[in-house]
């Protein structure tokens, strides 16, 4: 069984290490060699720590994609355009494909699954959601047996690490982000993580599987943690609560509601206990009830482990197909499914002008004033998605992100 590896960065080298150190075990299990025969890299002359792979390196992807002796292609280059083209080409050439690329899976999931099914090949992506936490395969299995009613999850280690630091050490957002970047939890450009886009992609993948219909990223209401400041953390802690970035999916009689946004939680909540870069996914089915999946949401070896688990499923012919849009009836994105209370903070020194005050009065959303003075903090009445979205959109017309916070 020959593998072509596209990319030799963090995930790629992790996959190589796991397969190499467990070579004898794989031979015993499958009765044959499991070999990474070719590896795509950008710089052929770069000195690499894994010396034994030197004669396997190429900077031409088609040396792998057109090789008839390669059975499985693992895409680990990242990005969207090239990765998508290579995955599609490999499936057309009759190869099994594995990827950890959530951006490609979220955007092209149905097309690539249909193409894999047409060519009787596997398209697997366990590592694209929750890193080392096995959730994609168990969810596929449960969808066969259950109607999935709800998904609740913490799916971004960077945001969770930042919020954990802010809560534990009373840090401001910028301080916690700086620590996350120095430790390698956050990229130099952390936008995808702190604005919720990374989580939105992962929720789109899980929801597409769970509801058997194609869910697009743009179908998901999304807000990140950028506007949460030390003053908010202090107020939330004084109220006896904590805060997490949660991804939620609800399904009820062909209506669904999907959201990624910061949520205030009881300290006793299971989600409140998820610290640092760990992930948690909870699914609720009509027969199975609630199942929780917890573990390392990122990292070289946890993510690579998920990729190699997909390799084993291909070897054992244990992957099947994942049907999307099997039902004739269409889903409706119904924002009326959810109403909730929101914590809202406005910083008057900079942002509380007459227009903002008039906006708060016009919307008639105030339920309880918690603090006044340097910051005005209040809780809203029970309001729906449309009303809170309109309020946030209008607030942005008058004040910058650093002078307000809205937390579910």
More confident residue, 337 or 318: 318
Q: What is the distance between the alpha carbons of residues 301 and 310, in angstroms, rounded to a whole number?
A: 14
What is the pLDDT, as a whole number, of residue 84?
A: 98
Percent above pLDDT 90 for the chain: 64
Which of 217-226, 332-341, 379-388 shows the highest mean pLDDT?
Answer: 217-226
pLDDT class for 398, splitting at 50, 70, 90?
Answer: confident
What is the pLDDT, as a whole number, of residue 271?
A: 95
Q: Please give the backbone phi and psi of residue 262, each rounded to the nearest 5 degrees, phi first.
A: -65, 140
Which of 42-46, 118-122, 209-213 shows the highest mean pLDDT?
Answer: 118-122
pLDDT class for 364, splitting at 50, 70, 90?
Answer: confident
What is the pLDDT, as a whole number, of residue 182?
A: 92
What is the pLDDT, as a whole number, of residue 348?
A: 65
What is the pLDDT, as a whole number, of residue 60?
A: 95
What is the pLDDT, as a whole number, of residue 350?
A: 56
Residue positions forming the annotated binding site for L-homoserine = 187
| CA-to-CA dists, residue 287 to 43, 75, 148, 290, angstroms | 52, 36, 9, 9
Q: Where in the chain is the domain with CATH 3.30.2130.10?
A: 338-407
Residue positions forming the annotated binding site = 6-13, 102, 187
- Please compute the mean of the pLDDT values over residues 170-197 and round it to a whole number: 93
Q: Specify whether domain 338-407 bears CATH 3.30.2130.10.
A: yes
How many residues does the structure list for the chain? Answer: 408
Nearest to 160 by CA among 65, 294, 290, 262: 262
Q: Where in the chain is the domain with CATH 3.30.360.10?
A: 136-296+328-335
Two structure tokens written together for 352 = 């509380």
Which of 21-25, 86-90, 182-186 shows the highest mean pLDDT?
Answer: 86-90
Q: What is the distance between the alpha carbons of residues 84 and 67, in angstroms, rounded to a whole number?
A: 19
Two structure tokens written together for 71 = 């059975």
Nearest to 395 by CA among 193, 227, 222: 227
Concerning whether 371 is annotated as a catalytic residue, the answer is no
Percent above pLDDT 70 for the chain: 95
Residue 51 has pLDDT above 70, yes or no: no
- Please compute the mean of the pLDDT values over residues 11-20 and round it to a whole number: 93
Residue positions forming the annotated binding site for NADP(+) = 6-13
Residue positions forming the annotated binding site for NADPH = 102
Which of 86-100, 133-147, 218-232 shows the highest mean pLDDT?
Answer: 86-100
Q: Specify whether domain 2-124 bears CATH 3.40.50.200.
A: no
Residue 267 has pLDDT above 70, yes or no: yes
Apex 120 CA angle, 115 and 151, nearest 5? 65
pLDDT class for 175, splitting at 50, 70, 90?
Answer: very high
pLDDT class for 320, splitting at 50, 70, 90?
Answer: confident
pLDDT class for 79, splitting at 50, 70, 90?
Answer: very high
- Please compute the mean of the pLDDT values over residues 91-100 and round it to a whole number: 97
Query: What's domain 136-296+328-335's architecture?
Result: 2-Layer Sandwich (3.30)
Q: Where in the chain is the domain with CATH 3.40.50.720?
A: 2-124
Least-confidence region, from 71-80, 155-164, 316-325: 316-325
Residue 5 has pLDDT above 80, yes or no: yes
Check 38, 95, 137, 202 and give the catalytic one. 202
């Amino acid at each position: 069984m020959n593998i072509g590896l596209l990319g030799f960065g963090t995930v790629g080298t992790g996959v190589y290490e796991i397969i190499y150190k467990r070579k004898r075990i794989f031979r015993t299990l499958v009765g044959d060699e499991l070999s990474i025969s070719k590896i795509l890299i950008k710089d052929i002359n770069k000195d690499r720590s894994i010396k034994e792979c030197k004669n396997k390196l190429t900077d031409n992807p088609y040396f792998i994609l057109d090789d008839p002796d390669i059975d499985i292609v693992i895409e680990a280059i990242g990005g969207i355009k090239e990765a998508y083209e290579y995955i599609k080409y490999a499936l057309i050439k009759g190869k099994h494909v594995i990827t950890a690329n959530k951006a490609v899976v979220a955007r092209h999931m149905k097309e690539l699954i249909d193409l894999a099914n047409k060519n009787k090949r596997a398209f697997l992506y366990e590592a694209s959601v929750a890193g080392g936490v096995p959730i994609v395969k168990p969810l596929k299995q449960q969808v066969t047996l259950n109607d999935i009613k709800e998904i609740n999850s913490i799916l971004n280690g960077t945001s969770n690490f930042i919020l954990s630091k802010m809560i534990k050490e009373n840090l401001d957002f910028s301080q916690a982000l700086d620590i996350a970047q120095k430790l390698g939890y956050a990229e130099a450009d952390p936008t995808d993580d702190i604005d919720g886009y990374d989580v939105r992609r992962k929720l789109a993948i899980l929801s597409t599987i769970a509801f058997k219909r194609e869910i697009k990223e743009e179908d998901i209401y999304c807000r990140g943690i950028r506007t949460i400041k030390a003053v908010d953390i202090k107020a939330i802690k004084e109220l006896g609560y904590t805060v997490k970035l949660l991804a939620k999916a609800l399904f009820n009689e062909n209506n669904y509601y999907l959201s990624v946004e910061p949520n205030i939680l009881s300290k006793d909540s299971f989600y409140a206990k998820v610290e640092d870069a760990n992930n948690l996914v909870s699914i609720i089915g009509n027969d199975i009830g609630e199942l929780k999946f917890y573990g390392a949401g990122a990292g070289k070896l946890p993510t690579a482990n998920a990729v190699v688990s997909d390799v084993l499923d291909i070897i054992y012919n244990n992957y099947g197909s994942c049907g999307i849009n099997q039902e004739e009836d269409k889903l409706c994105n119904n924002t009326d499914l959810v109403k909730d209370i929101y914590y809202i903070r406005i910083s008057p020194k900079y942002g509380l002008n007459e227009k903002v005050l008039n906006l708060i009065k016009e919307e008639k959303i105030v339920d309880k004033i918690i603090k006044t003075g340097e910051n005005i903090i209040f809780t809203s009445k029970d309001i729906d998605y449309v009303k809170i979205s309109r309020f946030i959109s209008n607030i942005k017309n008058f004040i910058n992100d650093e002078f307000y916070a809205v937390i579910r």
